[in-house]
Amino acid sequence: MQTDWSDERLMLAYRAGDADAFTLLYRRHRGPLYRYLARQCGNPALADELHQDVWLKVINARSQYEPLARFPTWLFRIARHRLIDHYRQHARHLLAHYESTADEDPEEGNELIEALPAAYEEMPHVLHERHDTARRISLALDELPPLQREVFLLAEEGGLTLDEIAVATGCGRETTKSRLRYALGKLRTRLRDLL
Amino acid sequence: MSELQQGFPGDPQISALYREHAREEPSAAVDDRILAAARAAVSAAAPAARRTWWQRWRATLALATTLVLTLSLSLLHERQPDDRRREAEVAAPPQPVAPGVSPAAVARDVAVPAAAPAAAPAVTAEPAVGSNAAAAADASAPGAAPRQPASGERLGGQRAAPPAGESGPRPSAGDWSHPGGSVAAKREEATAAALPPVAKESPAVPLATTAAPAVAGVAPEAAAPGQVPAARQQAPAGEKARAADLRRADDWLEEIRALRRAGRSAEAARQLADFRRAHPDYPLPEEFRQ
């Protein structure tokens, strides 16, 4: 049964011409990848566009695919590059943070929060429909510095390990670990009453 | 977090809370577009991968074959005009047929002089050539190019006589394979053989320039402007002498008459004897039968 196959095996099957394998693979990763992009760019419509672009890159790169790393690592790395391309074209002030490898100061995030686009959860019609808890989680994530939020999302949505996150983001393992620790600390502070 | 590992600073409570409320997903339209693109990419690549060697290369092979054929035809056409001109030179001169002379005899007249020089020993040395030429002439339709027995024998029978009814000596496949224009040389010989004797080239007949009206009538027709003189210039001296000997029978007889009128009976008798050996079947006029 293909449903039992690993991501890498499904991708190899798709490379060999099995379109159903791609469908299974897509169903597994469409939500996590979309949420990663949506929370990072803060715009659902833009997230749709980026999401489609990333999967088209996967489709076009199928002939060169080799299972040298786990499929999610490869997929989220493509997504991250696409996101950086977007920042390079439309939000250069955010790109500077992605290109910086220095560890963040816990207070640094306050400036970045103001620079971020408004999270779509904050829009009235969305806020009205969404559950209060989900909205608070979303707001807490939006308040994180981009690099810390990125590490948290890669760990939660992509299921990547510290080493895989370090490879995907081009940082050292300790830097990644530090970012994740900061992110979790802030979230715990903001969501304490929900835990 | 899915994979808690050694040193991983995870927070199971935060993780559980996040996952419980993470419900955002891409729109169905985006899903459809991505899946359609994935299927299209696979279906487009499949026929290309399944193509056989022949399917992949047949267009290239067809193009190469067409180019080769076109080049071959172009080269053939490039060579054909000269060859046709030579054919015209050989076949064009209409032979004035004397009254009572059959077309076959005319053909023999054209063919035989190549092997029948004026000198008697040469004629006697090749008595069979004349009969071969006669046979070839009989096989050829009037107007067909005369077979050149001497040259045919020199070629060791490489070239057969043209079949009856053929309008002219079309080049055979073997002719095209001759390098260096050996066919052209043969044709020039034949052209020279078909020419009437030129009086100034015939040392034995000083009166020939005034003697033969037929010669005067034939020469302008046989010599296409600018072509026959050129062929004569190209012919070596030996071939010129031979061409002078290849006189036609009626011209020859006219020369013999001139000799008789000039009182050179002995020479006339010798010429007549040569003529009889060269043309044993030629119906002699009454004045020469005595």
Say whether residue A131 is in contact with chain B using an 8 A CB cutoff.
Answer: yes
B95 pLDDT higher than 90: no
Residues B61-73 have pLDDT tens digits of 999 999 999 999 9
Give the pLDDT of residue B39: 92
Say whether residue B12 is in contact with chain A using an 8 A CB cutoff.
Answer: no
End-to-end alpha carbon distance in chain A: 39
One DSSP character per residue, A9-78 reads HHHHHHHTT-HHHHHHHHHHHHHHHHHHHHHHH--HHHHHHHHHHHHHHHHHTGGG--TTS-HHHHHHHH
B186 pLDDT higher than 70: no
Please compute the mean of the pLDDT values over residues B94-115 and round it to a whole number: 47
The CATH number assigned to the domain holding A124 equals: 1.10.1740.10
Give the pLDDT of residue B82: 61
Burial class from Cβ neighbours inside 10 Å (0-12, 13-18, 19+) for residue B270 reads middle
Nearest CA of chain B to the CA of A97: how many Å?
23
Give the pLDDT of residue B7: 63
Give the pLDDT of residue B135: 41
Q: Which residues 6+ apart lie within 8 Å of B55 measured at CB? A: none
Spatial contact of B271 and B256, defined as CB atoms under 8 Å apart: yes
Q: Which residues of B touch A156 (CB under 8 A)?
A: 1, 15, 18-19, 22
Nearest CA of chain B to the CA of A141: how many Å?
10
- The encoded tokens of residue B57 equal 């290369």
Q: Which of residues 159-178 of A touch B (CB under 8 A)?
A: 159, 161-162, 177
A101 pLDDT higher than 90: no
Please say whether the dihedral angle defined by the alpha carbons of residues A124, A125, A126 and A128, taken in this order, is positive or negative: positive
Give the pLDDT of residue B280: 81
Q: Which residues 6+ apart lie within 8 Å of B226 measured at CB? A: none
- The encoded tokens of residue A174 equal 């300790």
A109 pLDDT higher than 90: no
pLDDT over 90 percentage in chain A: 46
B93 pLDDT higher than 90: no
Is there a contact between B3 and A159 if contact means CB atoms under 8 Å apart? yes
Give the pLDDT of residue A10: 93
Exposure letters B89-105 (e unless 16+ CB within 10 A, then b): bbbbbebbebeebeeeb
Is there a contact between B37 and A59 if contact means CB atoms under 8 Å apart? yes
Say whether residue B75 is in contact with chain A using an 8 A CB cutoff.
Answer: no
Please give the Cα distance from B214 to B209 (Å, whole number). Answer: 11
If one compares B57 and B235, the residue with the highest pLDDT of the two is: B57
Q: Which amino acid is at B208?
A: A
Query: Across all residues in chain B, what is the average pLDDT?
Result: 62
Nearest CA of chain A to the CA of B29: how many Å?
10
If one compares A182 and B153, the residue with the highest pLDDT of the two is: A182
Q: In whole angstroms, how far apart are CA A184 and each of A57, A85, A108, B8, B84?
A: 31, 27, 16, 12, 99
Spatial contact of A143 and A190, defined as CB atoms under 8 Å apart: yes
Please compute the mean of the pLDDT values over residues B174-190 and round it to a whole number: 45
Altogether, the residues listed in chain A come to a count of: 195
B157 pLDDT higher than 70: no
Please compute the mean of the pLDDT values over residues B3-26 and round it to a whole number: 78
Q: How many domains does chain A have?
A: 1
If one compares A118 and A91, the residue with the highest pLDDT of the two is: A91
Please compute the mean of the pLDDT values over residues A110-138 and round it to a whole number: 59
Complex ipTM: 0.77
B225 pLDDT higher than 60: no
Please give the Cα distance from B115 to A68 (Å, whole number). Answer: 92
Residues B38-56 have pLDDT tens digits of 999 988 776 665 667 777 7
Query: Across all residues in chain A, what is the average pLDDT?
Result: 82
- The encoded tokens of residue B29 equal 């339209």
Please give the Cα distance from A132 to A130 (Å, whole number). Answer: 6
Give the pLDDT of residue A194: 81
Residues B267-277 have pLDDT tens digits of 998 988 888 88
Is there a contact between A133 and B41 if contact means CB atoms under 8 Å apart? no
Nearest CA of chain B to the CA of A146: how many Å?
17
Say whether residue B49 is in contact with chain A using an 8 A CB cutoff.
Answer: yes
Please give the Cα distance from A14 to A74 (Å, whole number). Answer: 15
Q: Which residues of A touch B9 (CB under 8 A)?
A: 177, 180-181, 184
For residue A43, give its domain range. 2-194
Q: What confidence tier does A25 reach under pLDDT thresholds 50, 70, 90? A: very high
Spatial contact of B39 and A17, defined as CB atoms under 8 Å apart: no
Exposure letters B3-16 (e unless 16+ CB within 10 A, then b): eeeeeebbbeebbe
Size of the A and B interface in Cβ pairs below 8 Å: 104
Q: What confidence tier does B116 reach under pLDDT thresholds 50, 70, 90? A: very low
